A and B are shown apart, each in its own frame.
Chain A
Amino acid sequence: MALAIELTGITKRFPGVVANDDINLAVAEGEIHAICGENGAGKSTLMKILYGMQPPDSGTIKIGGEVVELQSPAQAIDLGIGMVHQHFMLADQLTVLENVILGAEPMRSFGRIDFDAGREHLDEVGRAYGLDINADDLVETLEIGERQRVEIIKVLYRGAKILILDEPTAVLVPQEVDELFRNIRELKASGATILFIDHKLDEVLEIADTITVLRQGRTVGTVKPTDVTAHDLAEMMIGSELPVPDAGASTVTEEVALAIDGLRVIGEGDRAVVDDVSLSVHRGEIVGIAGVEGNGQAELVNALIGLDDPDEGTITLLGREITHFSVRSRREMGLGYVPQDRHRDGLLLGFTLWENSALGHQTEAPYSRGPWLSRAGMKDRASRIKTDFDVRTPNIEVSAHALSGGNQQKLIVGREMVAGPAVLIANHPTRGIDVGAQAAVWDDIREARAQGLATLLVSADLEELIGLSDTIVVMLRGRLVASLDPNEITPRDLGAYMTGAALEAS
């Protein structure tokens, strides 16, 4: 079979790291080829090279048998390569059609856009690849899965024959993943070649014709899904068995640490984004909040830590009502927070690690005494976090942006834990970090739970939710719609609750 893509000896160095080290990859025309590997294995760099976003330091790229030197994504698109990014790049206020033709508008005379021609072409593409979408829908009204379909159509519209899908399932619930896989198979049947980047082994085994595994920038091997098990793949990816979250014996006590009663937050358009939420978290308990993103979890968390003022209801921390307290007073009372987006909400990237280790606790000992900062106290704590939470860094004087994502996350988790919180809000605590760091964060949370920490865990990782939580509640359209026992639920059932399918059925 002819090769659509052939990469030979691709090497790419960044200061201090070799992101890709002599990588070889052969993708046959019309196949679904999965690229597997942990975060930091070099998948993204490889795809950026293939999409013309970065030139390799050495190695050759052949597209359809021809050696090419990719200078830009525009050139990659001309060669029929299209990329669907993990984070959607769509304008919410525009229609599907407008989004698809954006940047590739068919023109009429006098610089007018030929919408009819665009619509015709869009319909053609949709029919040819079996992708169903309404061209006139506003993107903001679409579900996540539909938005992803728009992204795929956008790429096909530009004539792509080779599609790169960058972790397409990361944002989807299981049911949407099934729909995506149906679409991908249709694409394949229509003659497209698919490069599928993922690190979820079950999915890879289900969809791929061929799997190439990367580890630490090198190609570990290329296998057929029929020849390997998930266990084999895991070993190839990390060199050892995958860690699993496991809560262990229950440590739940009777003592309520955090109580939420009838909480309501009104968002834009007078719609309740958090609607009558009542919940309590006991000392030694982990309560997991499951839900498709955008169902009010972010607003609930913001109200809990004090960024937004709730419109109705009360929040009680350790027996004291804190509904309208400032962020700082909540923090001083023992509320810890691990944010979802560490760069935006968790770190001062240009500041040293010891300064970062004080952020959020700068008013408390040992970081300060009265109005005065204590540099010694800050550095002392930072060193302790570095050792106890295994933050890998040359010293505590480097700035936070020098650390890898996993180490930044360990720093944040360590910072919150050494402050000895009574309640921890962990918002997607292991998103985007490698398996080693993930296991370390899980250990930290478990250990603190045994000491009596009450944790509210918001996560999109269903295995993490099921593995760590003592109780799981499901959030849908701002409401808590179900309370489930993690010992008795599978990820698939949980997914059904998250989309509301399970509720309609019952």
Chain B
Amino acid sequence: MTGRLAHRLMLASAAPVAAVVIAVVLSSIVLLISGSNPLAAYADMVEHASKLETQVDILNRATPLYLSGVAAAIGFRMNLFNIGVEGQYLLAFIVSAHVGAQVELPAVLHIAFILVVAMAVGGAFSGAAGVLKVTRGVNEVISTIMLNAVVISGLSAWWIVEWQAGGEISATGGRVGTEPIADSGILPNINAWLELFTREIGLGKKLTGMLVIAVVVGIVYHVMLNRTVFGFDLRASGANPTASHVGGVSPKRMVVIAMALSGAVAGLVGMTELMNTGYYPSNPISLLGFTGIAVALLGRNNPAGVAVAALIFAFLDVSSGILQISGAASREIVEIMKGVIILTAVIAYEVVRRIREREEAAAAAAAMAASPAAAS
């Protein structure tokens, strides 16, 4: 039995490990061709990542990537391609920043209020795409791409002008953005928690409190998916909508709920930045939504897998800075690595799936052959 368990574990981890190994090999080839020393570049990256401050950077980057990955993963579980995480988080970001600055509440309530507004806005905006799909048959890929455009070049551009804080700030060349949220609405950093285990964090780096929220989201996602009737309905409906419909799960209802949930989690993506700066800037951090799709893909839509994928991507993003500074290699190499990891992971997952399917079929056939009555 232990042999079989080991075999299954090996199969399960084979795909991501193979993906990373192949990505390293291919990237090394690219580095060699471009005249850089791959070993020097990797040494720089690893050395940099071993510093506490870099690790804080990686966690800060991984937090929104993880939320974005979970948002995409919820859609994927239902066979929905929510490509609109980008627009959903930016809309939630600007609306919650503005609304959050207009209210006065005690600290905990204020923070909760902002987060709830962000989730509600993201959920409603994404849910709208779900409603369009089930009532009018509009493919969610099309509608969410369109809604992205509505937010990115439409609403946010308009509202940033409408809601920007006082002309005098922008006139002096300072920040352009929405009015800052009062301190009571800002989630504190959790440096103190990390420092329980490590030395003091230097360079003024702050570990985002949203990390805690992200971990909670991950746990809730895991429990919801695997331990509740609703999660069973969601997975079943995504895997086979007609059989699930026969089994009492309305596919239309599941589409709308899954889109809304996906959007609600997407709404939290921008909160890492909001809780750091306190306002929505004219150039908010972008493309997190699209990267989240890749993160979900690499993490197989699995709560823990998406976390690992988010950490890998965050590590690569943060490494690109040090490569530029040390000059060991061009910083673009990390983009190549990300791409190669995704491609090899998709292929490796498929290969492993086929091996597993074949082994199961063989085992089932063997069980048939073992009982002579089965021949009848």
Q: Which of B230, B243, B363, B364 contacts A348 (CB 8 A)?
A: B243
B60 to nearest A CB, angstroms?
34
What bracket does the count of chain A residues touching chain B fall in?
35 or more
| Contact between A350 and B376, CB atoms less than 8 A apart | no
Q: Mark interface residues in A389-417 (1 if CB within 8 Å of B CB, else 0).
A: 00011100011011110010000000000
Instruction: Judge if B232 is at the interface, Cβ distance under 8 Å.
Output: yes
B window 226-251: CB within 8 A of A: 226-233, 235-236, 239-240, 242-250
| Interface pair B360/A349, CB less than 8 Å apart | no
Chain A CB within 8 A of B366 CB: yes
Chain A residues 433 to 469 lying within 8 A of chain B, measured CB to CB, are 434-436
B144-192 with Cβ < 8 A to chain A? none
Whether the pair A240, B376 counts as a contact (CB closer than 8 A) is yes
Min C-beta distance of B253 to chain A, whole Å: 10
How far is B367's CA from A392's CA once the two chains are assembled, in angstroms? 7
Which of B232, B248, B365 sits near A355, CB closer than 8 Å? B232
Q: Which residues of B contact A435 (CB under 8 A)?
A: 376
Residues of B within 8 A of A16 (CB): 361-366
Q: Write the nearest CB–CB distance from A357 to chain B, whole angstroms.
A: 11
Please tell me if B357 contacts chain A, counting CB pairs below 8 Å: yes
Cross-chain contact B357 with A360 (CB below 8 angstroms): no
Q: Are B360 and A399 in contact (CB under 8 A)?
A: yes
> When chains A and B are docked, how far (Å) is the Cα of A348 from the Cα of B239?
7
Bound CA–CA A403/B229 (angstroms): 25
Tell me, yes or no, whether A205 is within 8 Å of chain B by CB.
no
- Whether the Cβ atoms of A359 and B368 lie closer than 8 Å is no
On chain B, the residues within 8 Å of A348 by CB distance are 236, 239-240, 243-244
Give the residues in chain A near B226, CB-CB below 8 Å.
373
Is B203 an interface residue when CB atoms closer than 8 A count as contact? no
> How many angstroms from the CA of A408 to the CA of B259 in the assembled complex?
32
* Minimum distance in angstroms from B229 CB to a CB of chain A: 5
CA distance A355 to B231 in the complex (A): 12
Shortest CB-to-CB span from A383 to chain B, Å, is 14
Please tell me if the beta carbons of A373 and B227 are within 8 angstroms of each other in the complex.
yes
Residue pair A403, B243 in contact (C-beta under 8 Å): no
Please tell me which one of the listed residues A330, A362, A392 contacts residue B371 in the complex, with CB atoms under 8 A apart: A392
**A327 CB contacts on chain B under 8 angstroms:** 245-250
Q: Contact mask A339-362 → B, CB, 8 Å, 1/0? A: 100001111111100010011111
- Asked if B246 and A337 sit within 8 Å, CB to CB, the answer is yes
Taking CB atoms, residues of chain A closer than 8 Å to B244 are 348, 359
B205 proximal to A (CB < 8 A) = no
Tell whether, in the assembled complex, residue A216 and residue B249 are in contact, meaning their CB atoms are under 8 Å apart.
Answer: no
Expressed in whole angstroms, the Cα–Cα distance for A398 and B362 within the complex equals 11
Q: Is the CB of A394 within 8 A of B367?
A: yes
Q: How far is the CA of A355 from the CA of B376 in the complex (A)?
A: 28
A contact residues vs B (CB 8 Å cutoff): 14-17, 216, 238-240, 305, 307, 326-328, 330-332, 337, 339, 344-351, 355, 358-363, 368, 371-373, 392-394, 398-399, 401-404, 407, 434-436
6 residue pairs of the A-B complex, CB under 8 angstroms, read A327-B248, A355-B236, A371-B230, A394-B364, A402-B357, A402-B361
**With contacts A238-B376, A327-B245, A402-B364 known, what are 16 further pairs, Cβ within 8 A?**
A17-B365, A326-B250, A344-B243, A348-B244, A349-B240, A351-B235, A359-B243, A359-B247, A371-B228, A371-B230, A372-B228, A392-B368, A401-B357, A402-B360, A404-B368, A436-B376
